[in-house]
Structure 1
Amino acid sequence: MRVGHVAAVLAVVLVAAYSGRVAARAARQPEVVGEILAGILVVPAVLAVGGTPTLAAVLPTDVVGPLKVIGQIGLVLFLVGVAHELRHGGSGLGARAVGWVTAGSFVPALLTGLVMAAWVVWLADPDLRGDAPVPALVLMIAVALSVTAVPVLARVLEDRGMVDSPAGKLAMAAAVVTDSAAWVLLVVAVGISGGLVVSLVLVALGVAVTVVGRVLLRSRVPVSAAGRFPRATGAGIAGVALLVAFQFEHWGLTAVFGSFVVGLAIPGGVWAGAVRAVTSTGRLLVPVFFVVAGMGVANAPRGSVPWTAIAVAIALAVVGKVGGGYLGGRLAGQDRRTAMTVGVLVNTRGLTEIVVLQAGYSAGLLSVQLFLALVVMALATTGMTGPLLSIIERTRAPKPVPVPELPGSRS
C-alpha cells in the first residue's frame, strides 16, 4: 500500500466534498446533496478527462482497498449518531397525529416500491433486474422508495427555521419511525439472499447487545466517566462501534446493522457530546464512501443509462412520499398547506438512501443499472425539497388589504 498516494487521494476527496457543500449552499440545496454529487462524480470525472489508463493510475488496486476501508469507517461512525438520534428524538406532538403522518409517509411509499419492483421483475430489461432472488429484490426496492433521510431532514428544517413548526415536528417524528422500520426491512432483505435464519439470529443478538449495553452504560461509573472525559469516551465509542459493525459484517449482515446496535445502546444525557464527536468524524470521512460508490456507477457499461427506470423511480417516489405524506397530514387534522409541507419534507432521502442502496448493491440485490437509477432518484427527490418548500411558502394566503375610506364616510 502506498501511504502517500492514499493520503493524496483522500485530500482530493475531502476538498471535492467541501466544494460540493459550498456549491450546494449557493444553490440553496442541503449541503449533503453537493457532497454526494462531488463524491460520486470524482471517478466519472477522472474517466472523462483521462480515460481508463488515468483512472488506473490515480486509483490503483492497492489504493482503492484502503479507500474502501476508510469509507466504511466513516459510514459506521456517522451512523452511530444517526441511530442515537433515532432513539432519542421526539416530536412533542400527539400520538394520533404522528401515527397518521407516519402511516401516510411509509405505507404508500412501500406500495409504490412494490409497484416498481413488479415492473422491474416482469417488464424491465433483464440487465436491470439482475440475479437477486425475487423476494429479496422486491423488499429491497420497497425499502429504497420508503426511506426518509433523518440527518438531511434535520438540516433542512434547521436551515429554513422549521424545527419547531407543526409540519417540521410531524415530518421528523414520521421520519424517525419510518427509517427505523426501513433499516429492519433492509436487514431482512439482505438476510433473504444470505440465509434468513442466520440473519434473524444475528438480529436477535444485536437486540440483546443493545439492551445489555443500555443497562450497563446507565450505571454510575460509565456515566461519570462520560461526563469527565468526553473525548476519551468518544474514542471508546468509535472503537466499539467499528469492532461490532465489522464483526456483524463478517457474520453475514451489513456493517450498518452493527453501527445501529451501538448507536441505539448509548443513552442520552452526558453521552450526547461524545456521540456528536464520533458523528462529526464519520461525517468528515463519508465522502470517501461516496467515491467508492461512484466507482460502481462508473463501471456500468457505456450507453446503458437506465432513463426509463430513472423516470419510473422518481415518479413513484414522489407519489408515494409527497402524496402519502399529504394524505397522512390531512388525516392528522392538518390544513392543506401544512399537509403538503409534510409530504415534501418526508420526500427528502439524501445520505440515508445512498447508504441503503450501497448496502443492497454490495449484497448483490441491485444491478449496477438499478443502483444508478435509484441513486439519481435519491438525489432528485432530495434536490426538489428546497424549491417545493419555497413554492409552498409563496402560496400563503395574502394578508387582507385594508379598504380605503370614501370621502365623507366618517360621521
Structure 2
Amino acid sequence: MGGVLVSVHVVAVLAVVLAAALVGRTAARAVRQPEVIGEILAGLLIVPAVAAVAGHGALAGLLPPDVLDVLKHIGKIGLVLFLVGVAHELRRGSGSLGSRTVGWVTLGSFVPALLSGLVFAAWVLWSDDEALRGGAPALSLVLMIAVALSVTAVPVLARILEDRDLMAGRNGKLSMAAAVFTDSTAWLLLVVALGTASGGWGGVVRSVVVLAIGVALALLGRVLLRGRTSNTLAARFPRLMSVVVAVVALALAIEMENWGLTAVFGAFIVGLSMPNGEDAHLWEGITRPVASLGRLFVPVFFVVAGMGLFSTPTAELPWVAAVLATVLAIAGKVGGSYLGARLGGESRRDSITIGVMMNTRGLTEIVVLQAGYSAGLLSAGLFLALVIMTLITTGLTGPLLSLIDLRARRTAPRPVLEPQGGTQ
C-alpha cells in the first residue's frame, strides 16, 4: 500500500511541476524570452516559494525523501532523452559552414570566454570564502568554472534564431556552427574537470579512455545505422526504433555514471551516432519523439536543482560573485565573438550580432552546472551565482538583438524620393 501512496504522491507532484512549467513558458513568451527561461525560473523557485508560504515542515511533507528520489530519477531520465535530440542537432548544424570565418568566430567565442572563466576562478580562490569556494580540488574547480563561462546553448540559440527567422541567414549559420564547435570542446573539458575530481590524473586518464570508447561506439553506430536494414526498420517501425533509441540512451547514461562520468555523455553518444547526410530526415523523425518526451520532464530536473539550492539561505546569496561572473561572461563571449568575427572579415554590425547570439547559455549551461554541482565541484552558493549569470546572459539575447535591429533601422540611409510631376 505504501508503494501505491508514493506513486500517487509522485504523480501529484509531477502534475504541479508540469503546470508550473507551463505557466513559466507562457510568461516567458509574453515578454519575448525563450521558453526555457520561464521553465528554469519556475523549477528553481517553486521549492523556495512553497517553503516560504507553508514552512519547512510542510515542504518536508510535500517532498519526502522517497518521493524526491523518484523525482531525481525522472528528471535525469528527461534530461538524457532530451539531450539525445540536442546531440543529433549538433551534428546536423556542424556541416553547414566550413569557412575561415567560422574558425575565427569559434576561437573568439571560446578562448576569451575561457580566459574570463580563469579570471573568475582566480577571484573565487583569492576571496578565500569557504562557502563559495567549497571543497573541490583547485584544478577541478578552475576547469569547471572555465567551462561554465565558455558554453553556448545550441538548443536555445536555435530556438531564438528560428523565432526571429535568422536561422537561414549568414549570422545565424555562423553562430550555430561556432556554437557546435565551442560546446563540443567545452564537453571535453568537462570530462577532464570531472576526472580530476573523481581520481586525480588517474581519473582523467580513465575518463578520457571511457570517452574515447564512447566516441568509437558513436562512430560504429553511425556506420551500422546507415545500412539498408536499419533504414528499412526505421521507416517501417519508427515508434519501435524511438523506443530502442531511448532505452539504449538510458542504458549508456547509467553505464557512464558507473564509470565516474556524467550521464549526459550516454545521451550524446546515442545522439551523435544518428546518421546525418541523406538519412538525416529519417532519423530525425526517430529522435524527435525521444527528445520531446525528455523535454516534457526536464522541468523536474530544475525542481531537483532547486531543492539543492534551498540549502543556501537567502541572506547569503553571493551577489558579488553573481555580478562578477555575469560581467566576465558577457565580456568574454560578446567581446571575444565580436573580435573573432571582425578578424574573420565580418562587418561591425554583424560581428556584434554574432557576439550577442553566442552569449546565449540556457539549458546547456544548467546541465553543465548541475553536473559540477552533483560532483561536488561547485558549492551551493557558487552554483547559484552561475545560475543567475546564466539567466541574465540568456535573457539579454532577445532584447539586445532587437536593439541592434532598431539601431540599424535608424541609421540606415533613407531612399531618395523622385520629385512628382517630372520636368517639363
The verdict on a shared fold, with TM-score over 0.5 as the criterion, is yes
**What code does the residue aligned with 1:34 have?**
G
Distance 2:163 2:419 in 1: 43
Q: Which is worse superposed, 378-387 or 196-205? A: 196-205
Q: What aligned pairs does 1:379-390 form with structure 2 within 5 A after superposition?
A: 379-390=391-402
CA contact (8 A) 1:91 1:172 kept: no
**Taking structure 1 as reference, are residues 360 and 169 closer, same or farther at Cα in structure 2, changes over 3 Å only?**
same
Trace 1:251-400 onto structure 2 (pairs within 5 A). Answer: 251-268=259-276, 269=279, 270-396=282-408, 397-400=411-414
For 1:120 and 1:178, locate their aligned partners in 2 and report how far apart those are by CA, in whole Å. Answer: 24
In 2 relative to 1, CA 81–406 (structure 1 residues): closer, same or farther, beyond 3 Å?
closer
Give the deviation of 1:90 after TM superposition: 3.9
Query: Residues 98-134 of structure 1, C-alpha deviation per residue, up to 9 Å, x if partnerless?
Result: 1111111111100000000110111252210111011
Report the AA paired with residue 247 of structure 2: G
1:248 aligns with 2:256: yes
Q: Gapped runs of 5+ residues in structure 1?
A: none
Matched, 1:216 2:230: no
For 1:119-138, list aligned pairs within 5 A: 119-138=123-142
Describe the superposition over 1:369-408 as per-residue Cα deviations: whole angstroms up to 9, x where unpaired: 000000000000000111101100001133425368599x
CA–CA distance in 1 between the matches of 2:376 and 2:49?
A: 26
Q: CA deviation at 1:200?
A: 1.9
Instruction: Report the TM-score when normalising by structure 1.
Output: 0.97
CA–CA distance in structure 2, aligned partners of residues 264 and 401 of structure 1 = 49
How many Å apart are 1:93 and its aligned residue? 3.4
Q: Does 1:67 align with 2:71?
A: yes
Question: 1:189 matched to which residue of 2?
Answer: 193
In the other structure, the counterpart of 1:139 is 143
1:23-42 counterparts in 2 under 5 A?
23-42=27-46
Q: Is the 8 A contact 1:234 1:274 kept in 2?
A: yes
Name structure 2 gaps, 5 residues minimum. none
1:76–1:259 Cα contact (<8 Å) kept: yes
1: CA distance, partners of 2:197 / 2:331:
29
Structure 1 pair 157–225 and aligned structure 2 pair: CA distance change class (3 A): same
Q: Is the 8 A contact 1:187 1:257 kept in 2?
A: no
The whole-number CA distance in structure 2 between the counterparts of 1:403 and 1:3 is 72
Give, as a single letter, the amino acid of the residue that structure 2 aligns with 1:244: L
- How many Å separate the matches in 2 of 1:93 and 1:220? 29
| Residue matched to 1:104 | 108
3-state DSSP of counterpart to 2:192? helix
For residues 311 and 339 of structure 1, what CA distance do their matches in structure 2 show?
25
> Matched residue of 1:162: which SS?
coil
**8 A Cα contact 1:91 1:170, kept in partner:** no
Amino acid in structure 2 at the alignment position of 1:215 = V
Please state if 1:46 is matched with 2:45: no
Per-residue deviation, 1:161: 0.9
Deviation string, structure 1 residues 122-163 (Cα, Å, up to 9, x no partner) = 125221011101111000000000000000000000001111
Contact 2:72 2:301 in 1 (8 A): yes
Identity %: 62
Is this contact kept in 2: 1:190–1:360, CA < 8 A? yes
Look up the match of 1:3: 7
2:218 alignment partner AA:
T
Give TM-score, length-normalised by structure 2: 0.94
User: In the alignment, which residue of structure 1 is the partner of 2:233?
Assistant: 225
Give SS of 1:384's match.
helix
Aligned pair partner of 2:208 in 169, 182, 200: 200
1:175 and 2:218 matched? no
